[in-house]
Amino acid sequence: MLHIHNLRAGIEGKEILKGINLDVKPGEVHAIMGPNGSGKSTLASVLSGREEYQVTEGEVTFMGKNLLEMEPEDRAREGIFLAFQYPVEIPGVSTVNFMKTAINQIRTYRGEEPLDAVAFLKLMKEKMKLVEIDQSLLNRALNEGFSGGEKKRNEIFQMAMLEPRLSILDETDSGLDIDALRIVANGVNKLRNPSNATIVVTHYQRLLNYIVPDYVHVLFNGRIVKSGDKELALELEKKGYDWIKNEPATA
């Protein structure tokens, strides 16, 4: 599904990713861990197409297409979803209106008819139930005055609505208390199926107790220095990141 080969990228001339290799297949959950400044969020940004980041080398294909040539909205329409670390406030625009615009633009891109109001409402009700979110939150201006937990739940709701092929959760656990974390993780788990995949970017192992990964990769200094299964995350939790820093790059 996603194939990253020797990806080098940076911002304002400073190289942050120094040759990333990663393959993600349908049905898989990959966790990307690493200390602050290792390049985790940069990877999420580059995959979703943030324009301030420049790719200097390497290739990324998604469903066989060259991802790096696509506009951010086309990546989204092809099925890439980024759950933001800091969801953005859009005053005066409700989540309902926002999602309706998004879904219909995506459907148009895919050559499908736009959803009418009734069909949209039905879909929304179904997904609301799935991720346990309240209608009143969805009628409010997007993320405006939301608590940290509400923002993240809203992200997962959007993910449910858009049914992406590949979801990238960027530090979704940051700023969440344990109850909010559980609700968010539950939502993600319910959305898992054999045809979609998830990349969980996180600093702490905690989230991985709830969203159990098939693979864990440790990112350090712009490279994946170690890969393993969920046991690796537990080991990191125990030992910290220091011991990893001395490992040679596996790439």
Partner 1 sequence: MAKDNQILEEITSREYEHGWTANLEADSAPKGLNEDIVRFISRKKQEPDWLLEWRLKAYRAWLTMKEPRWPNVTYPAIDYQDIIYYSAPKQKAAPGSLEEVDPELLKTFEKLGISLTEQKRLTGIAVDAVLDSVSVATTFKEKLGELGIIFCSFSEAVKEHPELVKKYLGSVVPMQDNYFAALNSAVFSDGSFCYIPKGVRCPMELSTYFRINAAKTGQFERTLIVADEDSYVSYLEGCTAPMRDEHQLHAAVVEIYAMKSAHVKYSTVQNWYPGSKEGVGGIYNFVTKRGLCAGDHSKISWTQVETGSAITWKYPSCVLKGDYSSGEFYSVAVTNNHQQADTGTKMIHIGKNTRSRIVSKGISAGLSQNSYRGQVHVLKRAINARNFSQCDSLLMGDRCGAHTFPYIDVENSTARVEHEATTSKIGEDQIFYCRQRGIDEEAAVALIVNGYAKEVLNQLPMEFAVEAQKLLALTLEGSVG
Per CB under 8 A, does 98 bind partner 1? yes
- Using left for φ > 0, alpha for ψ between -120 and 50, and beta otherwise, residue 34 falls in left
Classify residue 88 as exposed, middle or buried by CB count within 10 Å of its CB (0-12, 13-18, 19+): exposed
Furthest-apart CA atoms within the chain: distance in Å: 58
- 8 Å CB contact between 17 and 46: yes
With respect to partner 1, which residue has the nearer C-beta, 97 or 209?
A: 97
CA distances from 75 to 2, 95, 97, 161 (A): 12, 21, 21, 16
Report the C-alpha gap between 28 and 45 in whole angstroms: 20
Site string for partner 1, 64-83 (x = CB under 8 A): -------xxx-xxx---xx-
With respect to partner 1, which residue has the nearer C-beta, 73 or 229?
A: 73
Options 54, 97, 186, 209; binder of partner 1; rule CB under 8 A: 97
Options 41, 48, 154, 196; binder of partner 1; rule CB under 8 A: 48
The least distance separating partner 1 from the CB of residue 102, rounded to whole angstroms, comes to 4
The least distance separating partner 1 from the CB of residue 227, rounded to whole angstroms, comes to 27
Number of chain positions touching partner 1 (CB under 8 A):
32
Report the C-alpha gap between 192 and 182 in whole angstroms: 15
- 8 Å CB contact between 234 and 211: no
Please give the residues from 133 up to 162 whose contact with partner 1 meets the rule CB under 8 A: 141, 158, 162
User: Which listed range, 2-10, 89-97, 171-179, 222-230, lies at the site for partner 1 (CB under 8 A)?
Assistant: 89-97
User: Which listed range, 14-22, 103-111, 123-131, 179-187, lies at the site for partner 1 (CB under 8 A)?
Assistant: 103-111
3-state secondary structure of 50: coil
Binding site for partner 1 (CB under 8 A): 48-51, 71-73, 75-77, 81-82, 84, 87-93, 97-99, 101-103, 105-106, 109, 141, 158, 162
